[in-house]
């Protein structure tokens, strides 16, 4: 009889590509992963892993069993979803991921509402960028993720995922209070062609959006500073070190020395929840999505 947890471990190695990455994804030690795989090899009587340089690779038998493991685990998840749906209660553990401003601006209210309405549901949040969250939902490492895209830059979404809107997040331009445009009621992004910019870090989805958007307006942006946290970006702007696009979600109080001005042609990003379509019947997922939607209504309203 094949052990389900050992199949889950083999599946994690196949998905993540290494023992150490699988251990991180399963939140266990590398030695625990190695022990599970050694037991699985004894159970099957076949070698499932072979050394490759400093790492390992799946043997033909390992790949064959990993393919079966993926289908078996998917069926187990469907069974769990059906049982939870039949019970009609949001119970058990729910793993959630969100980009930082959503984690700050939406999740305190949403998680508190979930705890009040569903005391037997254990919801856990982890911050992660959209490009990390999507594959983690696909792999089943997390149950629900809150992600974003922009009007002119959609987030690539693989098949097999369901989604629901949470809110549209409007973005303004943040600038030093002594900036020549700080007294305006509205601005256009083209008016900042000669400014230094404070951006998200290179490689992040929002950084790529900023570069795409400004270049689309004929601006080759001069990125002087990069910071992941919006509070850090605003602190740099307060010191007179540049301008930035500043979404409103999770922004908090604007520091002294910063003026935030709306963009004439509204810049907005779409915030939405995603989850695996085969888990759509789980009451816990429906409860979490509804709590996030209500939190989004409060933020937007």
Q: Check residue 81 and give its pLDDT.
A: 66
pLDDT for residue 89 is more than 80:
no
Residue 87 has a pLDDT of 66
Q: What angle do CA 189, 191, 192 make, to 5 degrees?
A: 75
Question: CA-CA distances (angstroms) from residue 268 to 146, 155, 172?
Answer: 16, 14, 9
287, 278, 273: which is closest to 88 by C-alpha? 287
Predicted pLDDT at 104 = 94
Instruction: Give residues with Cβ within 8 angstroms of 108, minimum separation 6.
Output: none
Residue with tokens 């795989």: 37
Residue 111 banded pLDDT, cuts 50, 70, 90: very high
Question: What is the model's pLDDT at position 71?
Answer: 84
The pLDDT, as a whole number, for residue 169 is 95
Higher pLDDT, 88 or 22: 22
Cα–Cα separations (whole angstroms), residue 94 to 91, 158, 196, 279:
8, 22, 42, 12
Averaged pLDDT of the chain:
90
- The two tokens of residue 139 are 């792999």
Dist. CA 276–CA 270, nearest whole Å: 19
User: Which region among 108-112, 131-135, 166-170, 256-260 has the lowest average model confidence (pLDDT)?
Assistant: 131-135
CA distances from 194 to 127, 172, 188 (A): 34, 18, 13
Report the greatest alpha carbon distance in the chain.
75
Residue 82 has a pLDDT of 67
* Res 85: pLDDT: 62
Q: What is the mean pLDDT of residues 83-88?
A: 64
pLDDT digits (tens, 9 = 90+) for 24-81: 877 788 898 889 899 999 989 989 988 887 778 899 998 999 889 888 887 877 777 6
Q: Please check the confidence at residue 293 and state whether its pLDDT lies above 80.
A: yes
The C-alpha torsion from 23 through 24 and 25 to 26, rounded to 10°, is 50
Q: What percent of the chain has pLDDT over 70?
A: 97
- The model carries a pTM of 0.74
Residue 235: the pLDDT is: 96
- Nearest alpha carbon to residue 283 among 148, 2, 91: 91
Tens digits of residue pLDDT in 161-218: 999 999 999 999 999 999 999 999 999 999 999 999 999 999 899 999 999 999 999 9
CA torsion sign for 47, 48, 50, 55 is negative
Cα dihedral 24, 28, 32, 33, rounded to 10, equals: -30
Residue 243, classed as helix, strand or coil, is strand
Q: Which residues contact 36 (CB under 8 A, 6 or more apart)?
A: 5, 6, 9
Residues 6+ apart with CB under 8 A from 67: none
Kindly indicate the confidence band of residue 300, based on its pLDDT and cuts at 50, 70 and 90.
Answer: confident
């Amino acid at each position: 009889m094949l052990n389900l947890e050992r199949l889950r471990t083999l599946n994690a190695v196949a998905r993540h590509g290494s023992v150490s990455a699988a251990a991180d994804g399963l939140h266990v030690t590398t030695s625990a992963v190695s022990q599970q795989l050694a037991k699985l090899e004894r159970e099957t009587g076949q070698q499932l892993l072979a050394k490759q340089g400093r790492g390992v690779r799946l043997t033909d038998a390992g790949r064959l069993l990993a393919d079966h493991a993926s289908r078996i685990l998917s069926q187990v998840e469907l069974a769990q979803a059906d049982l939870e749906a039949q019970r009609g209660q949001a119970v058990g553990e729910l793993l959630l991921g969100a980009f930082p401003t959503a984690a700050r601006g939406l999740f305190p209210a949403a998680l508190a509402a979930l705890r009040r309405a569903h005391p037997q549901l254990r919801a856990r949040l982890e911050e992660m960028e959209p490009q990390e969250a999507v594959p983690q939902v696909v792999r089943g490492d997390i149950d629900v993720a809150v992600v974003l895209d922009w009007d002119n830059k959609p987030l690539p979404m693989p098949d097999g995922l369901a989604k629901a809107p949470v809110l549209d997040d409007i973005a303004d331009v943040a600038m030093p209070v002594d900036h020549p445009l700080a007294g305006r009621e509205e601005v256009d992004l083209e008016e900042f062609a000669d400014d230094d910019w404070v951006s998200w870090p290179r490689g992040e989805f929002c950084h790529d959006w900023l570069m795409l958007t400004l270049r689309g307006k004929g601006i080759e942006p001069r990125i002087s500073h990069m910071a992941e946290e919006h509070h850090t970006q605003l602190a740099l702007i307060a010191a007179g070190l540049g301008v930035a696009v500043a979404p409103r979600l999770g922004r908090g109080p604007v520091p002294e020395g910063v003026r935030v001005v709306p963009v004439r042609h509204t810049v907005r990003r779409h915030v939405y929840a995603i989850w695996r379509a085969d888990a759509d019947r789980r009451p816990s997922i429906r409860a979490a999505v509804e709590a996030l939607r209500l939190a989004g209504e409060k933020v937007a309203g």
